[in-house]
């Protein structure tokens, strides 16, 4: 199921369900391409988003559901609303009542109403009074029935509940989960080669409120997941160093004071909120535990209910007293490794400057604890890259690499589009990620200095492992169109490839740039166009890549 269609991530203030205002050019160039790719790949269902898109709710938006998804892209599966979204059309001030909501959602192309019962309560009456024809109902039901037939649900309509214990957490599934966690983690900092850590016996303190949290390891959308199968970071480290002297202290709790709506489904980690005195005592215990260790691994970030749906935050700082605890432990002078468990970019400015090693582990899933330990102790070399930009402050959001040029000359020391109280640059750029080895990009070649519109060219680059251990690098290709019908972004990612290299090995990575990569939706022209223009190319390991070439597109 491709969701949430479309523009859901661009809500005002970053708040769930709030309105989205995007130009057609922004939608088509930035937000719709992943959904278009899903249609090309054969996705069976789409789920509409909750919010208003340019003042029309996405779940009752005929331009989005019929004009683009059905008619333009040829999608022939079914579209389902998000939970209760059809009923919410009344709350949003769009529909007069449930009857009006059902009619407008159906006419817009929404096949299935999830949970609100608005279709169930109103569609029969709308057919009986002639407002809707039975043919219109047939049209909307047909793709739903086709999906059920393909899945064999008429022959076997009920799931075998015993399969949960038979299938969940099979060894092969756990192995896949561990592999996926390895691939997703991003090494943000590794000063003086602190990582990987030695497995030689030493006293290690594992500190932080998320270090032994199955919930934080599984993440914000596990809900009914098989929690006993989850391996926490603490458990992963203890399993990696069996018999080692490993002490643990969680420090003060971090809690949402407004309960998460999904909390009713799971009470496994629910506990009373700490008093101020209890939090102070837990803080001191954590500091003293760290003081008695040779090495400290701190596991900080966001609890699962602080990210995902129903979890908008007004700040990107570490919640609670986590940064205070990090500073207190760092002041002890011990080597400190910070492991982040979180569902969004965080403003970790102090940590980025003062903590020698930082691993972004996200919400790593069932085998997350083992995967973190594999990376910390060198059994796996991290090769993940940031799929987002890390801002220095929530006030910098939205912040992305593919911005367009300001009208103010950037080379001017006085007149520049910037913040006067902080750097304009991100804390960590899009595509960034370190490794336990080093890589060098060289010999960038473009197959032709110029091509005509509609033609393709090939870009090749050599990537060498210049370090001492095998590792993965992600070669990333960015372009910039220098002029055209519209102003174009400073950089756009147009290709990437993850490769594994042995020490001293070099591989050539090849990209193709053709009409699909060089065409864009023009706000000026109101259609897809390809300009005759000059282009910059950069290839490297992140969005700040410096290896450069140029080419020209002619008529």
Residue 82 annotated as catalytic: yes
Pair type for strands 439-446 and 457-465: antiparallel
The tokens describing 317, both together, are 């700082």
- What phi, psi does 264 have (nearest 5°)? -65, -20
Instruction: Give the integer Cα–Cα distance in Å for 495 and 482.
Output: 19
Q: Which of 82, 113, 212, 542 is catalytic?
A: 82
Residue-by-residue DSSP string for 143-189 = HHHHHHHHHTTTT--S--TTHHHHHTT-HHHHHHHHHHHHHH-EEEE
Q: Which residues contact 275 (CB under 8 A, 6 or more apart)?
A: none
Contact 512, 432 (CB under 8 A): no
Helices of type H across 359-435: 368-376
Which residue is it, tokens 């029309």? 56
The tokens describing 343, both together, are 């569902």
Contact 87, 118 (CB under 8 A): yes
Nearest to 78 by CA among 15, 148, 126, 161: 148
Q: Which residues contact 348 (CB under 8 A, 6 or more apart)?
A: 318, 338, 340, 358, 390, 427
Contact 443, 546 (CB under 8 A): no
Active-site annotation, residues: 82
């Amino acid at each position: 199921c491709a969701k949430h269609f479309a523009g859901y991530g661009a809500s005002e203030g970053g708040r769930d369900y709030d309105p989205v205002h995007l130009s057609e050019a922004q939608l088509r160039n930035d937000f719709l391409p992943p959904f278009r790719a899903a249609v090309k790949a054969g996705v069976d269902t789409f789920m509409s988003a909750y919010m208003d898109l340019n003042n029309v709710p996405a779940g009752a938006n005929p331009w989005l559901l019929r004009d683009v998804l059905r008619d333009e892209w040829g999608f022939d599966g079914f579209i389902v609303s998000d939970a209760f979204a059809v009923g919410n059309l009344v709350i949003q001030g769009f529909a007069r009542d449930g009857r009006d909501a059902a009619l407008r959602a159906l006419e817009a192309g929404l096949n299935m109403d999830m949970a609100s019962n608005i279709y169930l309560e109103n569609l029969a009456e709308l057919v009986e009074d002639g407002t809707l024809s039975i043919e219109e109902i047939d049209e909307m039901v047909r793709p739903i029935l086709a999906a059920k037939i393909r899945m064999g649900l008429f022959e076997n309509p009920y799931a075998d509940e015993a399969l949960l214990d038979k299938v969940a957490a099979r060894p092969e599934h756990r192995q896949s989960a561990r592999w996926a966690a390895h691939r997703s983690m991003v090494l943000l900092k590794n000063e003086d080669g602190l990582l990987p850590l030695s497995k030689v016996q030493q006293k290690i303190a594992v500190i932080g409120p998320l270090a032994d949290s199955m919930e934080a390891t599984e993440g914000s959308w596990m809900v009914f997941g098989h929690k006993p199968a989850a391996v926490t970071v603490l458990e992963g480290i203890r399993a990696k160093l069996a018999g080692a002297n490993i002490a643990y202290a969680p420090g003060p709790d971090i809690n949402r004071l407004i309960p998460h709506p999904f909390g009713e489904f799971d009470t496994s980690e629910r506990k009373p909120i700490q008093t101020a005195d209890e939090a102070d005592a837990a803080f001191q215990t954590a500091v003293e535990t760290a003081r008695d260790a040779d090495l400290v691994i701190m596991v900080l970030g966001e609890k699962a209910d602080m990210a995902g749906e129903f979890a908008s935050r007004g700040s990107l700082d570490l919640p609670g007293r986590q940064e205070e605890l990090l500073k207190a432990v760092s002041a002890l002078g011990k080597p400190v490794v910070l492991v982040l468990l979180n569902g969004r970019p965080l403003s970790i400015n102090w940590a980025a400057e003062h903590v020698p090693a930082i691993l972004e582990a996200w919400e790593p899933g069932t085998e997350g604890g083992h995967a973190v330990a594999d990376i910390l102790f060198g059994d796996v070399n991290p090769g993940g890259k940031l799929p987002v930009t890390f801002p220095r402050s929530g006030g910098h959001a939205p912040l992305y690499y593919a911005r367009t040029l300001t009208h103010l000359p950037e080379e001017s020391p006085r007149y520049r589009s910037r913040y006067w109280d902080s750097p304009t640059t991100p804390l960590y750029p899009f595509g960034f990620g370190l490794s336990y080895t080093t890589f060098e990009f060289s010999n960038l070649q473009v197959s032709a200095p110029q091509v005509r519109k509609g033609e393709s060219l090939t870009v090749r680059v050599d990537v060498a492992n210049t370090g001492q251990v095998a590792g993965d690098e992600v070669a990333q290709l960015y372009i910039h169109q220098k002029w055209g019908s519209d102003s174009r972004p400073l950089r756009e990612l147009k290709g990437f490839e993850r490769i594994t290299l042995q020490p001293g090995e070099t591989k050539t990575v090849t990209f193709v740039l053709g009409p699909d990569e060089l065409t864009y939706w023009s706000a000026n022209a109101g259609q897809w166009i390809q300009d005759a223009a000059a282009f910059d190319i950069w290839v490297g390991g992140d969005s700040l890549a410096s290896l450069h070439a140029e080419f020209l597109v002619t008529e």
